Structure 1
Amino acid sequence: MTVFHRNEMKMQLPDALKGGVVAIGNFDGVHRGHQSVLERALAIAAEKQVPALVLTFEPHPRSVFNPAKPVFRLTPAPLRAKLLEAMGFQAVIEYPFDLDFSRRSAEDFVRSILIDWIGASHVVTGFDFHFGKGREGGPAYMIEAGKRFGFGVKLLDAFRDENAEVVSSSRIRALLADGAIGEINGLLGYRFTVEAEVIKGQQLGRTLGFPTANMALQAESTLRPGIYAVRLRRPDGVIRDGVASFGYRPTVTESGVPLLETFVFDFSGDLYGEVCAVSFFGHLRDEWKFSGLDPLVAQIRKDEEEARALLSGVTPLGALDEAIAF
């Protein structure tokens, strides 16, 4: 799959990708609501026998409009691209979003991007997608533009779960703060996953007999501090089970910087510098402060045993889950 980044926007789109069906949105999380839009785009592209593309925006518009409160990205751009590739898209266009872009008119967006650059034959997006200065472009505008320029338009209503609740990225972020991993994974349709470079920590885990792969997540992460049953995926695709602690390590330090520390089962080696993915299968307990290292080690052994038991019986939630966590 081809990914077009910020510094490539002046390039001509390859002819093989022009005239395709374009799914438009932020798609942060690529959750089941997003998947309903994306799957419709794939179906139309297959029917028309044209490429299927995704047009999204980097950075997240909400982070541009309110930089003091950046959005916690459920799927940063590289992970989102992997999920979209697994779904079957031929290209992802990560269009640069800044204040200047937000001031461009809806007409300019349609003409310069959808028509002149992409040559879209069909556009698929959610019913609430707005674009252009002052959000002047909405569903009615897109339908009218499609009639004028000759591209089809498909707008989808909000996707609701089995309880008739709308599936949204903000809802999933709130659930992360509760540690509700099972519910989150159900809304995503795959196991919640983070990606980061493995960095050096205090190496205390090594002295305790539980060496960990340490990662610094986004500062704005809403993940609840605690202990989780996880799988770690290395860049070469090798996956191993493990148990991870996310938090502030209150027994050994009062650091204000949270870390994700993953003890990888049955593994000895050096992961430093590797960009690994950690998929979350279950929340085992909250982060606790112990009276010393001995009770901490005893609890870590219990956490390992519980995580091994949980992970021994897991099966994929679907094709996306199988692509990243199995």
Structure 2
Amino acid sequence: MNIFSDIDEIKFDKNTVLTLGTFDGIHSGHQEIISRVIDCSEKENLRNLVITFHPHPRKVINPELNLKLLTTSDEQIKIFEQLGVKNLLIINFTKEFSQLTPEKFIKDFLVDKIGIRKIVIGYDHHFGKSRGGDVEFLISSGKKYDFGVIQIPPFLIDNEPVSSTKIRAAIENGQIDKANRMLGRTYSFSGIVIEGDKRGRELGYPTANIKLNDTDKLLPQIGIYAVMVELNGMNYKALLSIGKRPTFYNDGAVIPEVYIYDFNNDIYGQNIKVSVIQKLRGEEKFNSAEELIKQMNLDKENGLKVLNQIKKLTN
């Protein structure tokens, strides 16, 4: 896959089918759009191109929201390539860029610099200054500049349209099953294993504390989860704890840490990927270490029941 960070790097080619958007999560609806782009490019011998933005536009326009992301830039690149995208343009999104009118963006970028034969968009797509560009505008522009517009209808899961906002809310509420169905794969995050206070080891449950590779990445709701972890190319069953460890600390920071079943290797400094399968329970404060250990034994048993039902991971 060719990756471009500047539009001037792209050779002009009128025979191009493209789509554009933030694609946070690259969920089932996004995948439907990408699939149509690739299908169109293969059937009509067109160059396929995906245009996306970094940072996420909402983080630039409304930085006070502290938006957390479903996919990091590195994750997006990997998923786009897996889906068959041949050309990816990542536009540096700035406040200045956000002021481009839909007319100027279409004419100056898509028509004159990149070249466009067809554009594929989602049912609710908007772009340009104040999100003034929509499907009607694209259709009229297509008639003016000789390109076609393909609009993809909403992708429904459980009779509701899939969206990044809904997936984000599901993850924040611990509804991992719903989030994974909408994503079309298991939600995951990655980070480096760092040293902790070794409290888990003292309790008989050695855990690996994780420092996220990207602090903008969304972590699931505080609680205990059944997960799979990927380490050095191998997959392992594990439990994930996201929380403040209230049994031992009053105002601790929120820490993600994993207990890997039947594993006791030194993995400090190594990168680990955590795929979140199912929430087991919320975080609790126990009156003693003994009560906590009793619950952890139960979590280990319950987590194994969930993980033993997994036939394969889809990501």
- State the TM-score, normalizing by the size of structure 1: 0.87
The match for 1:187 is 182
Q: Distance in 1 between matches of 2:3 and 2:63?
A: 25
Q: Distance in 2 between matches of 1:150 and 1:306?
A: 59
Q: Measured at CA, do residues 31 and 10 of structure 1 come closer, stay the same or move farther in structure 2, by a change above 3 Å?
A: closer
**1:250 positional shift:** 0.8
Whether the 8 Å contact between 1:106 and 1:137 is mirrored in structure 2 is yes
SS at match of 2:195: coil
Q: Distance in 1 between matches of 2:233 and 2:182?
A: 25
Match status 1:199 vs 2:194: yes
The match for 1:91 is 87
Q: Measured at CA, do residues 40 and 302 of structure 1 come closer, stay the same or move farther in structure 2, by a change above 3 Å?
A: same
Unaligned 5+ runs, structure 2? none
Structure 1 residues 23-47: Cα deviation after superposition (integer angstroms, max 9, x where no partner): 2111111112222222211211221
How many aligned positions are there?
313
**1:268 positional shift:** 2.8
Instruction: Give the partner amino acid of 1:181.
Output: I
The match for 2:25 is 29
The match for 1:176 is 171
Q: Distance in 1 between matches of 2:54 and 2:216?
A: 18
The match for 1:273 is 269
Whether the 8 Å contact between 1:173 and 1:222 is mirrored in structure 2 is no
The match for 1:69 is 65
Q: Measured at CA, do residues 152 and 241 of structure 1 come closer, stay the same or move farther in structure 2, by a change above 3 Å?
A: same
Q: Distance in 1 between matches of 2:210 and 2:20?
A: 31
Whether the 8 Å contact between 1:32 and 1:159 is mirrored in structure 2 is yes
Whether the 8 Å contact between 2:72 and 2:217 is mirrored in structure 1 is no
Q: Distance in 2 between matches of 1:279 and 1:244?
A: 10
Q: Residue 110 of structure 1: which of 92, 106, 113 is its match?
A: 106
SS at match of 1:81: helix
Q: Distance in 1 between matches of 2:56 and 2:282?
A: 30
Higher relative strand content: 2
Instruction: Give the partner amino acid of 2:183.
Output: L
Structure 1 residues 15-70: Cα deviation after superposition (integer angstroms, max 9, x where no partner): 7x884321211111111222222221121122123343221111111111111112
Match status 1:239 vs 2:244: no
**1:315 positional shift:** 2.7
Q: Measured at CA, do residues 249 and 42 of structure 1 come closer, stay the same or move farther in structure 2, by a change above 3 Å?
A: same
Instruction: Give the partner amino acid of 2:225.
Output: Y
SS at match of 2:166: helix
Match status 1:282 vs 2:288: no
Task: Give the aligned CA root-mean-square deviation in angstroms.
Answer: 2.3
Whether the 8 Å contact between 1:174 and 1:222 is mirrored in structure 2 is no
**1:242 positional shift:** 0.4
- State the TM-score, normalizing by the size of structure 2: 0.90
What is the percent sequence identity of the aligned residues?
35
**1:92 positional shift:** 2.5
SS at match of 1:230: strand
Whether the 8 Å contact between 2:246 and 2:252 is mirrored in structure 1 is no
Whether the 8 Å contact between 1:71 and 1:220 is mirrored in structure 2 is no
Q: Distance in 2 between matches of 1:256 and 1:192?
A: 25
Whether the 8 Å contact between 2:60 and 2:95 is mirrored in structure 1 is yes
The match for 2:223 is 226
Q: Measured at CA, do residues 292 and 219 of structure 1 come closer, stay the same or move farther in structure 2, by a change above 3 Å?
A: farther
The match for 2:203 is 208
Unaligned 5+ runs, structure 1? none
Q: Measured at CA, do residues 219 and 257 of structure 1 come closer, stay the same or move farther in structure 2, by a change above 3 Å?
A: farther
Instruction: Give the partner amino acid of 1:78.
Output: D
Q: Measured at CA, do residues 46 and 104 of structure 1 come closer, stay the same or move farther in structure 2, by a change above 3 Å?
A: same
Instruction: Give the partner amino acid of 2:259.
Output: F
Structure 1 residues 240-288: Cα deviation after superposition (integer angstroms, max 9, x where no partner): 1101101111112234421111111222323333332211111111111
Match status 1:306 vs 2:302: yes
Instruction: Give the partner amino acid of 1:312.
Output: N
